[in-house]
Structure 1
Amino acid sequence: MTMYAALLRGINVGGSRKLPMAGLRALLEELGHGSVRTYLQSGQAVFAAGQGDEESLAADLTAAIEQRFGFPVDVIVRDHAYLRAVAEDCPFPAAGLEPRQLHVTYFSHPVDAARYAEIDRAARLPEEFRLGDRALYLYAPDGIGRSKLAEQLARRPAPPGLIATSRNWNTVLKLVELTAG
């Protein structure tokens, strides 16, 4: 059995697209997954699966959520090894930063650096971003709520089929821990 995290995009925010975590846990169990747990109310679940890959597991969960809850939700599924590698490969000194200063945006597919070529990185300092393996690391010293760079990154039009969802560093680390088995 492999441990996975499901990252749901845009649920339980601002009173819309409500998806109770108890319902998500029950749905994952009905799909045949074991060791199901959720983390916070913002759309993270971990589970064990004996078959399938990240894409098929995400597609199955996406379809089941829409059928059960009546609205579409973008889902990215990643295994423990990937989540651990994202944390270990952080290009910023994470141990010396406050968790609110560091965020990771997970992508459903690799993203070409050309997508961000027009951003004047020097003009956004001290904020910085770096691309990783299907991930973007954002250092925002004043937090993401005040980050002009985060706003600019979010405005980039997504290529068709690309799902992106961001998590703060505490959540990044917690998902590594929860999927460790």
Structure 2
Amino acid sequence: MQTYVALLYSIILGEGRRVVMADLKAMAEQLGLKNPRTLVATGNLVFEAPATDIADLEQRLEAAFEKTFGRHVDIIVRNAQNWLTLAAGNPFPAESALVGDQVAVRVMREPAPVDAVAALQAYVAEDEKVVSVSGDIWVVFSRARPSSRLLAATNHKRMGIGTSRNWNTVRRLAEMVDSRQ
């Protein structure tokens, strides 16, 4: 059995409707995934399954989600080792220790295009940073600006399919999968 992390792009089903994590866990169990558990109510799922192709697992989860909740949502899956590598590769450890909620990574299905990541520099405010690590996009957001231009610039159209998680969530998911190794 292999441990996996699945990240939902959105848990909003419509006006006033959100995915309940107990329902997400039940969906995973119906797919035959073992020991599904969630972290906070933002669409983070950790589970065990036989080693398989990641793209196939993403497609199965997305199809089950659409059938269960009536809406398509992109789901990014990483195996445990890949997730631990992602967490260990945090290029902003000092900032993460101080303001873990202001450091985020956009976890990509396919590596972000190099030219698109370079173009993000035009959106970086004076107190922000952005860098690509192994195709995922790490960002330090401004504490002074509640709405960063950089956040909007890291969208699907420019970067491809991905979803963002702050450092606190990345770290806690790493702890969850590391305890299963």
Q: Which amino acid aligns with 1:136?
A: I
Work out which of the residue numbers 150, 164, 167 in structure 2 matches 1:169: 167
Identity of aligned residues (%): 33
What is the match of residue 158 of structure 2? Answer: 158
Across the two proteins, how many residue pairs are aligned to each other? Answer: 178
Following the alignment from structure 1 to structure 2, what is the Cα–Cα distance between the partners of residues 143 and 73? 31
Aligned pairs for 1:113-132 (under 5 A) are 113-120=114-121, 124-132=125-133
Contact 1:5 1:44 in 2 (8 A): yes
Q: Which amino acid aligns with 1:56?
A: D
Contact 1:17 1:71 in 2 (8 A): no
1:112–1:144 distance in 2 versus 1, CA, 3 Å: farther
Deviation at 1:163, TM superposition (A): 1.3
1:124–1:21 distance in 2 versus 1, CA, 3 Å: same
Deviation at 1:18, TM superposition (A): 2.2
1:126–1:51 distance in 2 versus 1, CA, 3 Å: same
Q: Which amino acid aligns with 2:129?
A: E
Say if 2:14 is the partner of 1:11.
no
Contact 1:110 1:133 in 2 (8 A): yes
Three-state SS of the structure 1 residue aligned to 2:12 is coil
Following the alignment from structure 1 to structure 2, what is the Cα–Cα distance between the partners of residues 70 and 17? 12
Following the alignment from structure 1 to structure 2, what is the Cα–Cα distance between the partners of residues 119 and 33? 37
Deviation at 1:158, TM superposition (A): 3.5
For structure 1, the 5+ residue unaligned runs are none
* TM-score (ref. length: structure 1): 0.87
Give the aligned CA root-mean-square deviation in angstroms.
2.3
1:143–1:152 distance in 2 versus 1, CA, 3 Å: farther
More moved, 21-30 vs 11-20: 11-20
Contact 2:123 2:149 in 1 (8 A): no
Say if 2:57 is the partner of 1:57.
yes
What is the match of residue 79 of structure 1? Answer: 79
Aligned pairs for 1:26-37 (under 5 A) are 26-37=26-37
Following the alignment from structure 1 to structure 2, what is the Cα–Cα distance between the partners of residues 144 and 77? 31
1:44–1:122 distance in 2 versus 1, CA, 3 Å: closer
Contact 2:124 2:130 in 1 (8 A): no
Deviation at 1:78, TM superposition (A): 0.6
Following the alignment from structure 2 to structure 1, what is the Cα–Cα distance between the partners of residues 123 and 72? 38
Deviation at 1:44, TM superposition (A): 0.6
* TM-score (ref. length: structure 2): 0.87
1:112–1:47 distance in 2 versus 1, CA, 3 Å: same
Following the alignment from structure 2 to structure 1, what is the Cα–Cα distance between the partners of residues 161 and 29? 24
Three-state SS of the structure 2 residue aligned to 1:125 is coil
Following the alignment from structure 2 to structure 1, what is the Cα–Cα distance between the partners of residues 70 and 120? 38
Deviation at 1:112, TM superposition (A): 1.8
What is the match of residue 179 of structure 1? Answer: 177
